[in-house]
Structure 1
């Protein structure tokens, strides 16, 4: 019986982030859409506990003999350690150097940030991603990218010699909502790893600009005390939202950091938000945009090409790095109920175009003809 093996190592990362959610959702969809006779398995490095990599409907995870750092080093060095199966999909650039004869390998490339914005990654991380993606573009049997924007930019930066398929992420079913105590009646929400690339510094500054001297009394009343709620784990780079808030003169409690939430809690926080802000400097897709639209919440995001492609006119778009423009966009949503309702309606319509089934089918097409 032929087997597709998916590298599930990101599910065991200290900060799984958006690629962790992508890996879990894609694994489920691959199992649900498997062609007749095929099975789907997960594979991970050697860990003391691999429970977080277990997915319903997916066999395994199979455990390789190397611990995480050794596996990364081995594949980076070109060691031909094949993780098993007739076909392998790598949801991140962590992948074997190539497939043995008669087998196939596909790799998802989420973005071109290591080339376009290397300063938003660690030097080691940017260098590793550039090397691994460039190798996959030469030696894999196919690449999967989440947007046309990534496909175009990758082709400009890397010699891509293998077929590239665009497979957008899907809408994640977060399940029923679970109460999150203490949420304010109105708030701006941001979801994502707290690190430099996500533009949290610009977002906190924009919060301090929401009420200006030239604003009308109605505008001030609509925005003066609206807090910012952040959902996501701290990443690298030392971004400290509380410190940033203090630097911009915001009172204690105006910026609230919830950390990582379970899906049921995230559902609740999303649905109750007044607006979702996505101030990223660079993205390959932008799951928070899609998740907000699917929850019927208006979105304000930057003009990163991938985000613009995903929202397709169903959000307010502002220039990257421009705190004043971001504040103006948030103010418009917070003070104009008709605009907020229209954005929510347009977002729901746009979100209906995205499914994990479509993403999985693109991966299967790369392996099964």
Structure 2
């Protein structure tokens, strides 16, 4: 049984974690695992229904939602799942409360580091709110022990070293189940204006507020910003907002992907770009450092979190594009290392080990 409130109580989003769920849950069903999903009625719920996954609309409406916890408990008693798998903080908190007196194996995946959010918070009030989540999360872990899945070495280290959490399983996020081979933008068009893309949620934690100033630093480069969120993006002559897009199609049309994140537990868009041989400029925040490690100096270029530094790294990335053979070789490595089927197998091995 999968439980997820996307984006937390009262806030909906479609980020990397949510995209992974829309593919991972149907994949388990195709492999003969009986699944049921209790998620928010949004893009995630719609995708699961379209994939014919048994689905129930269930999500938290506030930070502490006793009715949500009661419904999770009722559903567990009714369905009698072998394993409950909770994704993101709200579902994790409420699932622990719901199963406090139940021995059904529980797996929790936060898809982030709460400490990273706290460390990058701009105000004392924000830091205090996140610290309260950290304190509550650690207390609930002790009251209701469970297995924890970390999506990156970074997240695992944060939990282990800063939270003293045990029973951690590392299962990196995969590429999508259906993913194309590299197709390089601008092939055969040497005079083509370089195109730099951004693919992600339009939020300050993702560095989206820096995009207009970076575009101003590079007036001869076209910027395409794909995604949605709460942060308005100031207009620039060379910056275009394209909304939500099909990731593979978008990445194959750009010359470089910009990932200016302040907070990042993994970095799915960076992985997707590298698997298509697209250069990535990034901040190295959190899991970005390990996702891009294999391509450092070839397809991955790290910069400080300032518009000037990121703009300079974009110039370097666009100007140092390797040969098609080199880029294809790098793309193939990422396609194999982060293969979707490999991830599904790891998850199923974990479920079996808990029974």
TM-score (structure 2 length as normaliser): 0.78
Q: Secondary structure at the match of 1:201?
A: helix
In structure 2, what is the equivalent of residue 199 of structure 1? Answer: 207
The answer for unaligned runs of 5 or more in structure 2 is 182-191
In the alignment, which of 52, 56, 65 is matched to residue 51 of structure 2?
56
Q: Is the 8 A contact 2:274 2:331 kept in 1?
A: yes
Q: Which has the higher contact order (CA 8 A, sep 6+)?
A: 1
What CA distance in whole angstroms lies between the structure 2 residues aligned with 1:362 and 1:137? 23
What CA distance in whole angstroms lies between the structure 2 residues aligned with 1:274 and 1:363? 34
Shift of residue 110, structure 1, vs aligned partner: 1.2
1:293 aligns with 2:274: yes
Shift of residue 120, structure 1, vs aligned partner: 9.4
Q: Is the 8 A contact 1:146 1:166 kept in 2?
A: yes
TM-score (structure 1 length as normaliser): 0.75
In the alignment, which of 335, 360, 364 is matched to residue 319 of structure 2?
335
1:106 aligns with 2:91: no
Q: Deviations over 1:173-223 (max 9, x none)?
A: 45689xxxxxx863100100011111123343233223xxxxxxxxxxxxx
In structure 1, what is the equivalent of residue 158 of structure 2? Answer: 153
What CA distance in whole angstroms lies between the structure 2 residues aligned with 1:120 and 1:273? 36
Q: Is the 8 A contact 2:228 2:243 kept in 1?
A: yes
Shift of residue 80, structure 1, vs aligned partner: 7.4
The answer for unaligned runs of 5 or more in structure 1 is 178-183, 211-223, 246-251
Distance 1:45 1:140, change over 3 A: farther
1:308 aligns with 2:302: no
In the alignment, which of 160, 180, 194 is matched to residue 186 of structure 1?
194
Q: Deviations over 1:226-272 (max 9, x none)?
A: 1111111023xxx33225x4xxxxxx2x11111122x3xx3222101
The alignment of Structure 1 onto Structure 2 pairs a total of residues equal to 324
Q: Is the 8 A contact 1:114 1:121 kept in 2?
A: no
Q: Deviations over 1:132-189 (max 9, x none)?
A: 64245432420111111111122232231x4101111111145689xxxxxx863100
Q: Is the 8 A contact 1:303 1:318 kept in 2?
A: yes
Distance 1:153 1:173, change over 3 A: same
What CA distance in whole angstroms lies between the structure 1 residues aligned with 2:123 and 2:176? 27
1:354 aligns with 2:349: no
CA RMSD of the aligned region, Å? 3.5
1:165 aligns with 2:169: yes
Distance 1:337 1:312, change over 3 A: closer
Q: Deviations over 1:94-129 (max 9, x none)?
A: 131253544111010212133332349994973575
Q: Is the 8 A contact 1:109 1:145 kept in 2?
A: yes
Distance 1:337 1:46, change over 3 A: closer
What CA distance in whole angstroms lies between the structure 1 residues aligned with 2:221 and 2:280? 16
Q: Is the 8 A contact 2:177 2:340 kept in 1?
A: no
Shift of residue 63, structure 1, vs aligned partner: 4.2
What CA distance in whole angstroms lies between the structure 1 residues aligned with 2:51 and 2:241? 31
